[in-house]
Amino acid sequence: MAARTSGSPRSADSANGAPRSSSAPAKVEAVELESALIQVISQRLREYRIQLGLTVTQLATESGLSKGMLSKIENGQASTSLLTLSRLAAALNIPLTAFFRGLDEERDVFLVKAGQGMDIAHRNAKVGHRYQLLGSMRGPQKRMEPTLVTLMERTEVFPLYQHPGTEFLLMLTGQMEYGVGAGVHLLEPGDSLQFEGEVPHGPKSLLQLPVQFLAVKAFGGVVT
């Protein structure tokens, strides 16, 4: 049988004369890059899922993917589209680029200029009480949450707060009594207070206005 010739030009290997495609090195690089991406994405996906305490089934439900497909992605057995990664990033509350950490490092950095913290509304908060969030990391990197609290008006009853983790307060201006559980503590500029967030806590009485303090919530999590 006669050999079929190709219309595409081919180069001969100098050692054995065997035809070799000029695009072979590029194809090898593309395959290697895709393989590396699959492995990095699978490692990051498993890492973030475990750090958030989610099962494969739970994450599949949150992201709208099938459990089988999610398992293949996490085990490095399947590539995935940007749309799928976007759905997973949303379910894990992380930036899309977090999946590529290891290939190109990505870190959240927050700069909040004076007076520009994001205002947040606390349930039962009164007029003249301002809470400014000073930045919060996303996903498994969220280990603390700093808030600048400014209290300009007195009120007879303050709401009590409870949350996971611990909290640190640093008194900046004014004077107040702050309750933690059954205890009441007098705080003046420069004073600090630390306590477990699960214990009911909150201001009891504003003695000298304006009262301003920095409140930092610290959450659990293993630092990697």
State the SS3 of the chain: CCCCCCCCCCEECCCCCCEECCCHHHHHHHHHHHHHHHHHHHHHHHHHHHHCCCCHHHHHHHHCCCHHHHHHHHCCCCCCCHHHHHHHHHHHCCCHHHHHCCCCCCCCCCCCCCCCCEECCCCCCCCCEEEEECCCCCHHHCCEEEEEEEECCCCCCCCCECCCCEEEEEEEEEEEEEEECCEEEEECCCCEEEEECCCCEEEEEEEEEEEEEEEEEECCCCCC
What per-residue confidence (pLDDT) applies to 137? 67
Confidence class of residue 40 from pLDDT cuts 50, 70 and 90?
A: confident
**Residues ≥6 apart with Cβ < 8 Å to 170:** 191, 192, 213, 214, 216
Q: Which residue segments constitute the domains of the chain, with CATH numbers given?
A: 23-100 (1.10.260.40), 118-218 (2.60.120.10)
Higher-scoring residue by pLDDT: 126, 115: 115
% pLDDT > 70, the chain: 74
User: What tokens were used for 103?
Assistant: 């290939």
Higher-scoring residue by pLDDT: 223, 77: 77
The DSSP bridge partners found for residue 110 are none
Above 70 in pLDDT, residue 186?
yes
- From CA 68, how far away is CA 60, in angstroms rounded? 9
Confidence class of residue 107 from pLDDT cuts 50, 70 and 90?
A: low
What per-residue confidence (pLDDT) applies to 209? 96
Confidence class of residue 127 from pLDDT cuts 50, 70 and 90?
A: low
Lowest model confidence (mean pLDDT) among 57-66, 155-164, 169-178: 155-164
Confidence class of residue 155 from pLDDT cuts 50, 70 and 90?
A: confident
How much is the average pLDDT of 182-196? 97
Residue type, 24: A
What per-residue confidence (pLDDT) applies to 36? 76
Q: If phi over 0 gives left and psi between -120 and 50 gives alpha, with beta otherwise, what is residue 44?
A: alpha
What per-residue confidence (pLDDT) applies to 221? 53
Q: What is the distance, to the nearest Å, from the Cα of residue 212 to the centroid of all Cα atoms in its chain?
A: 28
State the chain's mean pLDDT as an integer.
80
What per-residue confidence (pLDDT) applies to 18? 47
Above 50 in pLDDT, residue 207?
yes
Q: Are 198 and 162 in contact (CB under 8 A)?
A: yes
Higher-scoring residue by pLDDT: 119, 106: 119
- From CA 174, how far away is CA 213, in angstroms rounded? 9
- From CA 137, how far away is CA 74, in angstroms rounded? 24
Residue type, 209: L
Residue type, 127: V
